[in-house]
Chains A and B, each alone.
Chain A
Amino acid sequence: MLSGLGVFRPVVHAEGAAILEVSDLSVAYNGTRALDGVTFDLRIGERVAVVGPNGAGKSTLFKVIAGVLDPTSGDVRVAGCSPRGHICIAYVPQRSDVDWSFPVTVEDVVMMGRYGKLGFLRRPGREDRAYVRICLETVGLEDLATRQIGELSGGQQQRMFIARALAQESSIVLMDEPLNGLDVSAQERILEILDALKARGVTVMVATHDLNQAAEFFDRVMLLNRRLLGIGTPEAVFTAEHLESAYGGQLRLVETGEGMMVLNDTCCGGH
């Protein structure tokens, strides 16, 4: 393995290579499989939606890619190396997993993204503060920099974490349900920022429940339910057969509301 690369050293990425290669990845917790034989590649700058029911293994997949969790079997390569050799993979947590009463300000959180580059014993300097400023401006939070994080709205909280991913100078950003519970304008704002990330060649994976959104705003969609059921264009992946095997009895839930319309269009248009 390449763990000898040095834990704190960022890895220089080979030009033109797949940014992420996942091969035959399986993860088991206490004997039950959270992920089973998942294989796919992502190219630099791609934007992929990861869709699947609760417990499909979306968070597990992200944690393995981030190098936080070790796979039971199979392999993950980020720019050709083990994820543990990189500090360029940013994980944006679900909002419900964050302690919003923690005594940190917006700029404190974004500055944490710089800590990986600072190294042991060094304090952030003027350049780091300038960098954090630019990241805050990119997501439009410069006016809220000194607010305590609990004072932000849901959309602003999500943008703060994107700014932290930028401060981390990440090449891959993994976002766990970033659009959940946000109103439409807040969602649109985040999708705009994701466009800006794409322009910078940042690869983004977004876990979402919303099939409609996944189909509309992403280059490719991935349908996951422990096994990888499909990755590609929405037309190819969101087929009745795939959705049935992903959601099974839950399919009725998907068919309520507006989701139903898109589902029909997608599956019938494809045939």
Chain B
Amino acid sequence: MATEFTDDIFFATIGELNARLKSKDFSAVELVRAFARRLEQLGPRYNALALPLTDTAIRRAADVDKELKRERYRGPLQGIPFGAKDLLSYAGHPTTWGARPYAAQVFDSSATVIDKLEKTGAVLVGKLAMVELAGGGGYRSAAASMFGPGLNPWDRTRWSGGSSSGSGSAVAAGLVPFAIGSETSGSILTPAAFCGITGLRPTYGLVSRHGAMALSWTMDKLGPMCRSAEDCGLVLAVIAGGDTNDPGSAHKSFYYVPQYYRASKDLRIGYAPVDFAEWAQPATRPAFEQALAAIRETGAKLIETKLPDLPYGALTSTIISAEGASVFEPLIKSGKVDELADPKQIAGLKAGLEISANDYLKAMRIRAIVQQKIRRLFADVDVLLAPSRFGPAPKISEPLDKHANDATPKDLGMSALIPAGNLAGLPALSLPCGFADGLPVAIQLVGPAFSENQLLALGKDFQTRTDWHRKRPTAG
């Protein structure tokens, strides 16, 4: 009898789907067809779908079934459908980078991460929408994408976050079990937090960016967006590793072995009370208090700390603007930049060409100080903890910089942890921790470079004590 594909399957973890494939509850073709059709049907509802790949995916799934029949197992992702942010190339298919000037762009080879996932038997069912050019010029509208504004599955009047918008909403709505996103400064953590899923930003250089759109060579990272910390570990184990095609590659391997890392009770976790009491919007504070209580229950020692007072905003803005303007110089000088959807982004990219070499070098020199001082911070704590975002997803009808001039607390706490962590190239894990006004909110854990297993071990412990990552929006 054919399996009925219900929400219990569409919202299952990778481990659960893998077990059911092995026990032959359904075939890879059946699973892939069900997800691919759901993505095609519901993806446009959230402006999440850039390109359906249903036919190709079903052919690949048939190959997986042949392997499973011969009991040739390639790992936990074998036969699992996934989506990829449309800044990753997929041979012979359009890769738009979310931007109209690149709508017809086709590459003849696939990104290393997609190659690696396919080799392990994972099946790409669709490319996912994103903010145009990953928002490198700065943008003030959720509609800064050729696919339209990313709509949040929890409330379609709200933004799904950017720039990995489609990756966030597709996982949250049960359209794919996992997706690949990218982060230059906040583009995995933000949609993961707004959509109520688990997102991992790996250490700079751990995952090859070959075949990915470049925005900022010294800050771009690719990472998994999943249902749980465990799933993030399983995906990272496949996509991580050295690559001579990526000049930024750290040439390091990653094996997902959280059981060999320190137990939560032995960890010192640094946090700034002001982040939770003042920076967090009032509606989110009860959820964050519960999250802190759950972290305390693990036995971890919470230690008050704060980030060194450094110009994180000016640094990220200068570095991303300068590198992004250099990457997109042909687009800017040809005038095609004016075809982008967001006028602020157009202006930002154009202005980036005028950053002086002195300013760029000064920013990169101060960045070395940032790395040094944050490294020292980790002498006293093992992990940093802060809200992923201080509020829930904003309305798509409102400018994203609406609150930019609001009064802010004097104590900076760790309010700049997203730019600081990205400048230092550090890994971060965003974990759903509750709701405010019916919308998800999340905490982030940040660790020293290449501490992914430790972050995932703590995240996994947190998710055994809470069920926020199991909550589902009403899709359909």
* Co-assembled chains A and B: no
